[in-house]
Chain A
Amino acid sequence: MADLRQRSAVLTLEDALHLLRRTTLHPTYARAAALVGKTPAAAVTALFDAPEAPFPSPSWASQTPNITNFNDAYRLWVELQVWWLDRVMASPSPRERLIMLWHNTFTSDYLNVYIAHWMVGQHQMLRANAYSYADIASKIVGDAAMLRYLNGDQSVKGRANENFAREWFELFSLGVGNYTERDVLEAARAFTGWRITGLTGSYNRQLADLGEKTILGQTGNWEWQDVIRITLEQPACNRFVARKLLRNYVEPDPSPESIDAVGALLKTANYNIRTVLTALLTSEYFFDAKLRGALIKSPLELVVGLSSMLGATSVSRVYTGQVMARLTQEPFYPPTVEGWKGHHAWITSSTFPQRQRFGESFVDGRQIGSSSKLTDDAGKAVVPDVIAFLKQLPDANDAEKIVTNVAAVLLPMPITKQQHEVLLEIMLAGAQKYEWDVNAPSAVQRARFLIQAIVRMPEFQLM
């Protein structure tokens, strides 16, 4: 049973890094150091209350879509990715990671939607409503990208298209086993009447099936708003969202008791996510030492996280998107409506070596597994300053201690004595401990050896 009592112990560096890894894409030493000594409640409030810069849509996104060929569609897709990657590279807000959870729940993929303008619109809707599941749930129905993705805009009274209705129950709100085939058929009727006009969806009651329907046991002349209301009243919906939050923030396989407990919080808070996350992220459960490192990083968390930790967030957005695609998380292109499965699915005999190659190449200022230099999008070389990375940490001039400290910042769990010995040996590369001088020119390559050895470890893939 999850211990949801509020934790009062002030944050250590490890606690602060844990909190940042699980809530933001920027678990840097500097940001963690600023949270050390705060209570969990104060730290979480600071994270949520930090001001966020505005994030305007690309100028083309407000114009009427006029995409007639694949080249235009593809060009805008890349622009869409770059627009968003610019944001996540810069923003330390917990909102960014939460948006990914919603994007991965209420999925739409670029190739099927095809119109970048609508993808921008969906992203901005998820962004604006990130802290309210209930608001997203009602706004997604008439979202233009979603209407196209799951054929809502082509669903006709009398011959309803079931695509959205099924995924609504299965993937967006209740999960398999909590609705019947009949519910899908009836809800599909209630979801008719939507079309896309320009940039948004519009509901036309004349086109909707207004007849009597029975949905999840309730009978009436239900329209789409009623389906949302009835669904969100279900305890299964509380549990469904609770499980999503727990898997995203705490552990891959939460117990039914933990799910029930967080589900109860969601019910009380009327699906206000900030309220529930604040309770969860300040709990003894969240800081349980046994659950450190229990999650496998998504490609986004891996790539942005390393860029940020090494102070190299200017790295090319186009390149970053390509790396994510190779690691099977192409931005705005989830493989199916189920989204990216995550956790173990991220790691295969093909992606694991690629993750290692990405990390070690990045440390050198090279592109993944090649000798090409890392650059920003203007072509200017990007070389992570590994010495600056070391020197921000305490005891940078003590070989033994710097190994411990680098590992503590980069890895979610403490290294063993044996790992420490090997890492020290790798860093020293034949030199003696007393010869270590972080200011010596020879320290650069040695610092790279150390960081590369760490980013190659399976432990580095955890958070």
Chain B
Amino acid sequence: MKTSSNNEQNPNRMHRRSFLRTAAGGGMAVATLPTLIDSFSIQALAGGDPRLHQLLEDQDRVLVLIQMAGGNDGLNTVVPHSDPLYYERRPTIAIPKSKTLRINDTLGWHPAMTGFRSLYDEGKLAIVQGVTYPNPDRSHFRGTDIWLTATDADVMGSTGWVGRYLQTLAPSYPTELPAHPLAVQIGNATSLGLLGSAGPMGISFRDPDEFYRLVNGGGGAGEVPSSDQSDTPAGREVMFMRNIARSADVYASVVKDANDKSGTPSVTFPTTDIGAKLKVVSQLISGGLRSRIFLISWANNNFDTHASQTSTDDATLGTHANLLRELSDAVQAFMQEMKNRGQDQRVAGMTFSEFGRRVYENGSVGTDHGTAAPLFAFGAQVNGGKVYGANPDLVNLDPIGDMLMQYDYRDVYSSVLLQWFGVAASAAQQLLYRDFSSRAPGLFRSKPTSVDDTASREAFISVGPNPATDFVVVRVNVDQHADAHLVLTDLRGGPKATTPVDSWTGVGRLDLQGLPSGTYILSLHVGRAIAHTTIQIAR
């Protein structure tokens, strides 16, 4: 039991201000949660309450992250064809202006990127120029770790930015597993980006059917309980494996169900590695898998084009051209499929790469490790058809001769968290260890902030597990001694459960036993003020 000496010395804190404090005290507000609600239900439920209407519509947003592993050459991707220095520095590998695909008067796409060009022209793809971070590291592995952990260049992070975000959605993971995986990585590896403080916050597999067979193909003999030696290195490793095994057990059938339900894609995906991976992602989304994050990557450092980046007789052909085509064609097919399946409004994607490459080509028809490079966001709700930031400055370079930063990569993550996922500013600041919101480019059409329902969004510090099964623990942001209670309502408006909020801890625990699967409205009542969010029950 905590003491209240501070409160007694500070009468302001005893005062019941509206019903909320700001979250500056350190809470993580969780406003949007993974759910699936059709528009009819939203109409029926929200009635005349526009804030609630908006809240429900925004629940189900998905982000697809595509890692261009190896360090993508930004200058040959978004070509600054009006800059004579570009051609001077790259006598062999520069893309001729006449071959580029028009972006604007000064920039053109690499000719292999017809898919990106179409999406851009439709306003569904945005270019962010000059993305890196202060004191950029030119090591693949440090660079990748920095991007995945969202730390400063001199900080060794052990958790991923996505993992930390997902942990706010499911604080008791992996003890309590949500009904659907929070994140899915297509491939055999688990990205550092998905690591939370309690281990990986997602699952990885190459193929849903294969995954199901692997998990369920075991022999008949029983399971041996794990030894409880969590204080030894070996004991910790056993627990690490137990948790991963359990999430695989639970999710293999959920993933297979979604994959089975999705049916045949309406578009033909390219038969490339990335095409095949995005096809799996599209199937899972269409089939109803409620994961928030999908992550795919090239399996090797494919973009590490030190040599033979282009063919020697035609700079528009060769290794790099093939990689860009693979990306661009696959994303185009993916977005078309999402549109055909009516999913495109809630799905967005973003590319990233650990660094760009040097301005100068080297003597082996390639480029060495550099710094700033463009990044791409795509989706129907992306403020696309735009270039964020200025064209690359090839004159003012860093002491090594590399391009300077225009956007910190965490500015862009801030856009994702604030605009796309509707995370409260205070929470985004905690997730990224600093406030990047003021420089976040407006990449995503951000319904949550347009509603400006700050009160509701700041009210809930954490709600978990979500999706929930037997109970949900809700931590809210109310003044101590406030008389608060929680009400759970189903989509037809009938109250299903209620509980008081502990006035000391700000925590309420709702018993959900006996309630069927589905979406529910969770309301916090303090006096006459009400804040809403939604939760999912899944059995």
Q: What residues of chain A have their CB less than 8 Å away from a CB belonging to chain B?
A: 109, 150-151, 154-156, 158-163, 166, 170-171, 176, 181-182, 184-185, 251-252, 290-294, 296, 328, 335-338, 344-345, 347-354, 356-357, 360, 364, 369, 412-413, 415-416, 418-419, 422-423, 425-426, 449, 452-454, 456-459, 461-462
Tell me whether B238 and A462 are in contact (CB under 8 A).
yes
Residue of A155, A349, A416, A419 touching B251 (CB-CB under 8 A)? A349
Determine if A348 and B245 form an interchain contact, defined as CB atoms under 8 angstroms apart. Answer: no
Closest chain-B Cβ to A230's Cβ sits at a distance in Å of: 20
Say if the beta carbon of B494 comes within 8 Å of chain A: no
The answer on a CB contact under 8 Å between A160 and B301 is no
The answer to whether B234 and A350 have CB atoms under 8 Å apart is no
Whether B301 contacts A154 by the Cβ 8 Å rule is: no
Shortest CB–CB separation between residue B151 and chain A, in angstroms?
A: 14
Scan residues 192-240 of chain B and give those whose CB is less than 8 A from a CB of chain A.
200, 203-206, 211, 213-215, 217-219, 221-229, 232-234, 237-238, 240
B384: Cβ under 8 A from any A Cβ: no
List B residues 234-274 near A (Cβ within 8 Å). Answer: 234, 237-238, 240-242, 244-245, 247-248, 251
> Is A357's CB under 8 angstroms from B214's CB?
yes
A453 CB contact (under 8 Å) in B138, B222, B245, B307 = B222
Cβ-defined partner of A345 (8 Å) among B189, B217, B299, B300: B189
- Residues on B with C-beta less than 8 A from A453 are 221-224
Q: Which residues of A lie under 8 Å from residue B190 when comparing CB positions?
A: 345, 348-349
Residues of B within 8 A of A252 (CB): 233
Q: How far is the CB of A428 from chain B (nearest CB, A)?
A: 11
The CA-CA distance from A159 to B364 in the complex, in Å, is 8
Of the candidates B244, B299, B300, the one whose C-beta lies within 8 Å of that of A348 is B244
Docked CA distance A159–B213 (Å): 52
One of B211, B219, B360, B368 near A163 (C-beta < 8 A): B368
Bound-state Cα–Cα, A291 to B241, Å: 17
State the 4 A-B residue pairs at the shortest beta-carbon distance, nearest first: A159-B363, A156-B363, A293-B234, A154-B364
Q: List 11 A-B contacts (CB under 8 A).
A: A151-B366, A158-B363, A161-B306, A185-B400, A292-B234, A338-B140, A349-B205, A352-B248, A354-B214, A357-B214, A458-B237
Cross-chain contact B188 with A369 (CB below 8 angstroms): no
Please give, as numbers and ranges, the residues of chain B lying within 8 Å of A154 by CB-CB distance.
307, 363-364
Min CB distance B20 to A, Å, is: 39
| C-alpha gap A273/B411 in the complex (Å) | 47
A369 to B213, CA, bound (A): 8
In whole angstroms, what is the CA distance A354 to B215 when docked? 8
CB-defined contacts of A462 to chain B, threshold 8 Å = 234, 237-238
B142 at the interface (CB under 8 A from A): yes
CB A71 to nearest CB in B, in angstroms, measures 19
Q: Is B82 an interface residue (CB 8 A)?
A: no
Residues of chain A within 8 A of B337, CB atoms compared:
none
Q: Say yes or no: is B73 at the interface (Cβ < 8 Å to chain A).
A: no
CB <8 Å contact, A357 and B218 = yes
Residues of A within 8 A of B217 (CB): 353, 357, 369
Is B504 in contact with chain A by the CB < 8 A criterion? no
Residues of A within 8 A of B505 (CB): none
As a 0/1 sequence over residues 97 to 126 of chain B, the CB contacts with chain A under 8 angstroms (1 = contact) are: 000000000000000000000000000000
Residues of B with C-beta under 8 A to A454: 224
Give the contacting residue for A176; candidates B139, B237, B306; CB below 8 A: B139
**In chain B, residues 328-368, which have Cβ atoms closer than 8 Å to a Cβ of chain A?**
360-364, 366, 368
Chain A contacts for B248, CB-based, 8 A: 349-350, 352-353
A412 to B233 Cα, complex, angstroms:
12
Check B244–A413 contact: CB distance below 8 A: no
CB-defined contacts of A150 to chain B, threshold 8 Å: 306
A166 near B245: Cβ-Cβ < 8 Å? no
Contact A151 B306 (CB under 8 A): yes
Report the separation of the CA atoms of residues A449 and B205 in the bound assembly, to the nearest whole angstrom: 28
B219 and A452 within 8 A (CB): yes
Residues of A near B138 (CB, < 8 A) are: 166, 181, 184
* Interface bits B18-34 vs A (CB < 8 Å: 1, else 0): 00000000000000000
Q: Which of B214, B225, B307 contacts A353 (CB 8 A)?
A: B214
Bound Cα distance from A189 to B85, whole angstroms: 24
Contact of B363 with A347 in the complex, beta carbons under 8 Å: no
Q: Are B301 and A337 in contact (CB under 8 A)?
A: yes
Residues of B within 8 A of A357 (CB): 214, 217-218
Residue among B206, B218, B299 making CB contact with A350, cutoff 8 Å: B206
In Å, the complex CA distance between A374 and B349 comes to 44
| CB contact between B142 and one of A176, A182, A347 (< 8 Å): that residue | A176
B-chain residues with CB within 8 Å of residue A456 when the two chains form the complex? 218, 221, 223-224
Q: Scan residues 158-214 of chain B and give those whose CB is less than 8 A from a CB of chain A.
A: 188-190, 200, 203-206, 211, 213-214
B140–A337 contact, CB under 8 A? yes
Neighbouring B residues of A296 by C-beta, 8 Å: 237
A458-B238 in contact (CB<8A): yes
B137 touches A (CB below 8 Å): yes
Residue of B214, B304, B362, B369 near A160 (CB, 8 A) is B362
B141 at the interface (CB under 8 A from A): yes
The smallest C-beta distance from B13 to any residue of chain A, in angstroms, reads 43
- Contact code string B467-480 (vs A, CB < 8 Å = 1, else 0): 00000000000000
Q: Which residues of A contact B228 (CB under 8 A)?
A: 416
B200 close to A348 (CB less than 8 A): yes
Q: Considering the complex, give the chain A residue whose CB is closest to the CB of B186.
A: A350
Return chain B residues, CB-CB under 8 Å to A337.
Answer: 140, 301
Verify B218–A294 contact, CB threshold 8 A. Answer: no
In the complex, are the beta carbons of A426 and B363 less than 8 A apart? no
A462–B307 alpha-carbon span in the complex (Å): 40
Q: Cβ of B139 and Cβ of A412 under 8 Å apart?
A: no
With both beta carbons as reference points, the residue of chain B lying nearest to A370 in the complex is identified as B217
- The reply to whether B227 and A162 form a contact with Cβ atoms under 8 Å apart is no
**Shortest distance in angstroms between A114's beta carbon and chain B's nearest beta carbon?**
12
Docked pose: A461 CA to B300 CA in angstroms: 26
Known: A166-B138, A338-B141, A345-B190. A352 touches B241 (CB 8 A): yes
Q: How long is the Cα–Cα vector from A462 to B225 in the complex, in angstroms?
A: 16
Closest Cβ neighbor of B227 among chain A residues: A416
> What A residues does B233 contact at CB under 8 A?
251-252, 290-291, 293-294
B240 near A347 with CB under 8 A, answer yes
Q: Given A176, A294, A344, A350, which contacts B211 in the complex, CB threshold below 8 Å? A: A350
Task: Point out the residues of chain A lying under 8 angstroms from B245, CB to CB.
Answer: 349, 352-353, 356, 458
Q: How far is the CB of B140 from chain A (nearest CB, A)?
A: 7
Q: Is the CB of B221 within 8 A of A349?
A: no
Provide the residues of chain A in CB contact with B221, threshold 8 Å: 426, 449, 452-453, 456
CB distance from A366 to the nearest CB of B (A): 10
Pick the contact of B237: A155, A293, A422, A425 (CB < 8 A): A293
Nearest CB to that of B228 among chain A residues?
A: A416
Contact between chains at A422 and B244 (CB < 8 Å): no
Q: Are B238 and A459 in contact (CB under 8 A)?
A: yes
Residue of A nearest to B233 (CB): A294
- Which of A109, A159, A348, A418 touches B188 (beta carbons < 8 Å)? A348
Which of B188, B228, B240 has the most chain A CB within a 10 Å cutoff?
Answer: B188
Residue of B nearest to A422 (CB): B224
Give CA–CA (A89, B141) in the complex, Å. Answer: 33
Considering only CB atoms, which chain B residue lies closest to A156 in the complex? B363
